[in-house]
Amino acid sequence: MDDALFEHILPSQVVNTVTGTPFTLASEVPLAITLNGINHAVMMVSPYQLDAFIIGFLLTEGIIQHHRDIHDFEFLHQQDAIIAHVTLANRCHQPWQEQRRNLAGRTGCGLCGIESLHAALPDLPPLDAHPLPSTPALMGLREQLPEWQKLNQSSGALHAAFFADRTGNILFAGEDVGRHNALDKLLGWHHRQQDHGKGIILVTSRCSIELILKMVRTQQPTLVTLSPPTTLAVTQARHYQLNLIHLPYQQPPRVYARSC
């Protein structure tokens, strides 16, 4: 996607009406997603990495199984909104139509719009066993975060999700006003990579059940969070054999769930 198409909705300086001091605010815009010409969802997003976001979003919703299930993207802007026309493979269209639900756009609760308990807590296959990262790899993550959070440094108010290799070197970051969106951007990016394999995914937000399900659907074995998880997140992480680790500030990592 060419970000130049959306320069008019990228972060810009706003002047404090009392002091006259300029400052930068984060961008948040409606993204309307259509699948094969049918309206699917309107999400509130930061207008960056949108192709990766849509791939990750459709993967974690169970609509596609592979990024090649998306045949084409077309992004258009309409006033202060973005429209994404996505062409899905025929094999994905009918199953999506059968499970289609009225999905409310969200930056907070990741289960809004779900109509049944089974959809909220699906019965997914557990992950394969995967070793925990080493303590040195985990302890070295925090010091790398500032150089990867460029948007947050300029405007604040943005969540981030990071991918690090097994030694703890961060290779990519997805940033967004929504914590679920940031993780979807990261997962969409990683799904298209051929040479990074399994590693460590770190999120700056709290960890609740929907983040666990996104990890399981995309077969990611290790989630590290900067805030503690909820009890349900821990229960589900143990059920699915996900490595779930909290990284407190200036304290040793806390392992809440492990796969082996």
May I ask the CATH class of domain 3-120? Answer: alpha beta
> For residue 100, which phi and psi values (nearest 5 degrees)?
-55, 140
CB 133 within 8 A of CB 222: yes
pLDDT digits (tens, 9 = 90+) for 30-46: 999 999 999 999 999 99
What is the 8-class DSSP label of residue 216?
A: H
CB 26 within 8 A of CB 151: yes
Confidence at residue 106, expressed as pLDDT on a 0 to 100 scale: 47
> Is pLDDT above 90 for 13?
no
> Is pLDDT above 80 for 24?
no
Q: Does the domain at residues 135-257 carry the CATH identifier 3.30.428.10?
A: no
The 3-state DSSP class for residue 235 equals helix
> Is pLDDT above 90 for 157?
no
Distance, CA of 38 to CA of 253 (rounded, Å): 45
Q: What angle separates helix 209-217 from helix 50-60, to the nearest 10 degrees? A: 90
Write the burial class of residue 15 (CB in 10 Å: 0-12 exposed, 13-18 middle, 19+ buried). exposed
Distance, CA of 144 to CA of 154 (rounded, Å): 17
Q: Which of 102-106, 109-113, 114-118 has the lowest mean pLDDT?
A: 102-106
Strand order of the β-sheet with 243-246 is 170-176, 159-164, 200-203, 222-225, 243-246, 254-257
CB-based burial, 162-200: b 16+ in 10 Å, e otherwise = bbbeeebebebbbbbbbbbbbbbbbbbbbbeeeeeeebb
Q: Tell me the domain boundaries of the chain.
A: 3-120, 135-257
Q: Which of 109, 112, 207, 260 is catalytic?
A: 109
Q: Is 109 a catalytic residue?
A: yes
> Is pLDDT above 90 for 94?
no
